[in-house]
Amino acid sequence: MKKEKQAQFGFVNWGGKRRGAGRKPKGERAGVVHAKRPVLCSRFPVHVTLRLRRGLPSLRYDAPHEHVRRALSVGSERFGFRVVHYSVQSNHVHLVAEVDDERALTRGMRGLTVRLARGLNRLWRHTGKVLADRYHARILRTPREVRNALAYVLQNARKHGAWTAQRPDPYSSAPWFDGWKTSVKTAVAAALPRARTWLLEVGWRRHGLLDPGELPGTG
């Protein structure tokens, strides 16, 4: 008798992580990974970026900037979350903040984004979402990283070509920043708390003060 041959079946890998599996990120800029954020230490400042949804007016006008500045002022010194520096661009906001830990960052940013959305919706007579996606946060661990972040945030309008005057960008905390190479005369009072961490107050200065005309990445 002929022996019956057993049918050969190829194995299918049904277990484990599969390419393309899982919930897809949402939003117009779905590039911010929805993963657990890294552990934060209170001695490290954080560079945070928030973006608006498409189709909304520019933030670089007096009225929307005042809403942003007021929200930052009210939202600082809460939950162990302090915004020390910021800049407002047409469709995004950069922050340099100090936080006690990752929970403080989450709680502080949640309150800040709600406050921003409500204020801007009232100003623009708009309903619905204002922010495009989750905020992006980068931990700054060295004096060099902090200096680069300060130059990037305070001089961001120069990077985008939105500000070319030889004085600090008024839509930022640059007018009351005390780390310029040359003296900057301004009547603007500081609206945000001073830095408390060594890196953001002293350490970054080891790599040189900022020049008022410096472009990010050229210092």
pLDDT of the residue at 119: 94
Fold for the domain defined by 46-207 = Alpha-Beta Plaits (3.30.70)
CB 165 within 8 A of CB 174: no
* Exposure on the CB side of residue 5, measured as CA atoms within 13 A: 3
Structure token digits, residue 31: 């590039």
Structure token digits, residue 126: 């708009």
User: In the chain, what is the greatest distance between 2 CA atoms, to the nearest angstrom?
Assistant: 103
The span from the CA of 93 to the CA of 59, in Å, is 9
DSSP 86: E
Tens-level pLDDT at each residue, the chain (219 residues)? 555 555 444 444 445 555 555 555 555 545 554 455 567 889 999 999 999 999 999 999 999 999 999 999 987 777 899 999 999 999 999 999 999 999 999 999 999 999 999 999 999 999 889 998 789 999 999 999 999 999 999 999 999 999 999 889 999 999 999 999 987 766 566 679 999 999 999 999 999 999 999 998 765
Note the pTM of the prediction, 2 decimals.
0.81
Structure token digits, residue 160: 């985008």
Task: Give domain limits for the chain.
Answer: 46-207
pLDDT of the residue at 219: 58
pLDDT of the residue at 134: 85
Q: Give the angle subtended at the CA of 11 by the CAs of 6 and 12, to the nearest 5°.
A: 140
Residue 48's H or E segment, with its range, is: strand 46-51
pLDDT of the residue at 191: 76
